[in-house]
Amino acid sequence: MAGSTTAYTLGVYISSKGKASMLGSLRSILRTPSVYALALAFGLKGLGINELPPALSRTSQLLADASIPLMLVLLGLQLGGLGKPSGWRLVFSASAIRLLLAPLLAVFFASLFGLEGAARFAFILQAGMPTAVMTIVLAHEFGTDQDLALNLIMATTMVSPITLSLLIYLLQNGLI
């Protein structure tokens, strides 16, 4: 949930900041439906409503189930139009930050927050995941470098089985 909230607030702000003023970037956040869904969820939870009516629950679940396949279709369409890969220094640097530095920072923050057991494991593992497909959606929406976003998604996804395997090994054996 924290990752999604960050993507739909800070991610939207940073993505739109390239072509908009600070106020325009803040407005972009307010045009993101997920922000309202999160506010509604917290409001319902605060009122003690823990379940939606079955019709609403089923509808929202169907939409949620469709989101990942739709994003993957979008990713495939974008990859089909990708020209010759470029900017590999930036892609390499960003991939190293995403797959290597982020989990190390997560180890520090997990200790700082006192996370233990499964919560610590999940927190650190989540930090080492490849760049999300949501990146291309934001790049497309706000007119930023879509080729860079695609190259980051592709590079981190291709390398992540190695880095995640190593990370899981280190976590399971108490080495980090």
112 located within any domain: yes
Query: What are the structure tokens assigned to 141, written together?
Result: 């929406």
pLDDT band for position 98 (50/70/90)? Answer: very high
Q: Are residues 46 and 104 in the same domain?
A: no
pLDDT band for position 20 (50/70/90)? Answer: confident
pLDDT score for 58: 93
Q: Are residues 103 and 73 in the same domain?
A: yes
Q: Please determine, for residue 2, whether its predicted confidence score (pLDDT) is greater than 70.
A: no
62 located within any domain: no
Mean pLDDT score, 108-123: 95
* Number of compact structural domains in the chain: 2
Contact 139, 146 (CB under 8 A): yes
pLDDT score for 1: 59
Looking up tokens 């497909």 gives: 133
Q: What's the distance, Cα to Cα, between the start and end of the chain in Å?
A: 24
Q: How many CB atoms lie within 10 A of CB 143?
A: 11
pLDDT score for 122: 95
Q: Please determine, for residue 94, whether its predicted confidence score (pLDDT) is greater than 90.
A: yes
The domain of 104 spans 67-176
CA dist 22 and 13 (Å) reads 8
175 contact partners, CB below 8 Å, separation of at least 6: 169
29 located within any domain: yes
pLDDT score for 168: 97
Q: Are residues 76 and 22 in the same domain?
A: no
pLDDT score for 41: 86
**Exposed, middle or buried, 157 (CB in 10 Å: 0-12/13-18/19+)?**
middle
Q: Which of 33-47, 74-88, 102-116, 160-174 has the lowest mean pLDDT?
A: 74-88
Q: Please determine, for residue 99, whether its predicted confidence score (pLDDT) is greater than 80.
A: yes
Q: Are residues 72 and 45 in the same domain?
A: no
